[in-house]
Amino acid sequence: MKIAVCVKEVPDPGPNRRIDPGTLRMDRSGDRSLNAYDLNAVEEGIRLRDAAGDGEVVLVSLGASKALDSIRKGLAMGADRAVLVSDEAAVGSDLVATSYVLAKALEAESPDLVLFGQQASDADGAVLWAAVADRLKMPVISQISELEVADGSITAKRQTEFGYDRIRTSLPAVLAVADSLNEPRYPSLKGIMGAKKKPQDVKSLADVGVDAARAGEAGSRTTVISLSPPESRGGNQKIEDDGNAAQQILDFLVERKLV
């Protein structure tokens, strides 16, 4: 079984993330890592490949060329190779442009399964899989918390606002997995060492057959108009437990008459 896992490099979560006020884009110059939610998709890809006994797991991404540093974590976990579409003309791609570029890169791979994590931690988006599935003309199931593969079909359990659905589809298909589906493995030292030697193809837009007019800002249909500071949520104190945190929490609650 050939499994493509779509992954993304994101700025590390935490207070240092910022949007560049000049470009109105995410500042990607600081510390970065693989989107944590993608690790569940990588893990599931590896498990499905191993259970099938053959096939491969290909990581597919769109990003800066240095994103390979983050993507290598997926290779260290056990994915077989990576394809990164990286092109100056793709910078600033929105959903329309990103889904188009990714779909073109995925078409070239003809996978049986395309896996996504449950969201991107930088943009809070949870819409890419549905857009990619539409472009690939494949069925899609999202929010998967349990997955069974048998005889060329997938049965998935997933949570909605009303409880749990069970949905079945034939392959090929696009699946988005919830972070509850599995516990991503930590890469072993051997895996980390071996990751560097695994194939890592960096492709241009032309390499995947995308006209530059359909990527980046030219291919995007949404804009950021302006940025402003949020309404304050008040306190926002953060403390580290030095053995006295329980007392500090109690004092905080008493002060606000909550105890």
Partner 1 sequence: MSTLVFLEHHGSSIQKGSLGVLSKAVSLDPDTSAVLIGSGVAPLAEQAGRYGAKQVFVADSESLEAPLPQPRVDVISRLVADKGFGNVLFAASVLGTDIAGGVSARLDAGLNWDLNDLAMDGGALVGKRSALGDTIRADVGWSSEPRLGLIRAGSFDPVESGGSASVEEISADLEDFSTKAVMVDQAHEEQTGPSIEDAEILVTGGRGLGSPEAFSLMEDLASALGGAVASTRAVVDSGWYPYPTQVGQTGKVVSPKLYIGCGVSGAIQHKVGMQTSQVIVSINKDPNAPIFDFSDLGVVGDLQTIVPKLTELVKERRGS
Cβ proximity to partner 1: between 81 and 252 the closer is 252
Cβ proximity to partner 1: between 152 and 199 the closer is 152
Cβ proximity to partner 1: between 7 and 75 the closer is 7
Q: Positive or negative, the Cα torsion across 21, 202, 8, 101? A: positive
Cβ proximity to partner 1: between 14 and 53 the closer is 14
When computed from its CA atoms, the radius of gyration of the chain, rounded to whole angstroms, is 20
Which residue from 192, 183, 204 is spatially nearest to 72, judged by alpha carbons? Answer: 192
Distant-in-sequence, close-in-space partners of 254: CB < 8 Å, separation ≥ 6: none
Q: At closest approach, how far in Å is the CB of 200 from partner 1?
A: 27
Q: At closest approach, how far in Å is the CB of 91 from partner 1?
A: 16
Q: At closest approach, how far in Å is the CB of 85 from partner 1?
A: 17
Q: At closest approach, how far in Å is the CB of 163 from partner 1?
A: 4
Cβ proximity to partner 1: between 19 and 193 the closer is 19
Q: At closest approach, how far in Å is the CB of 117 from partner 1?
A: 11
Cβ proximity to partner 1: between 8 and 80 the closer is 8
Question: Residue 242 has which token pair?
Answer: 């030095």
**Cβ neighbours around 134 below 10 Å, total:** 13
ω into 21 cis (within 30 of 0)? no
Pairing state between β 25-26 and 19-20: antiparallel
Distant-in-sequence, close-in-space partners of 58: CB < 8 Å, separation ≥ 6: 2, 3, 4, 5, 79, 80, 81, 82, 83, 109, 111
Q: Distance between CA 159 and CA 145 in Å, rounded?
A: 7
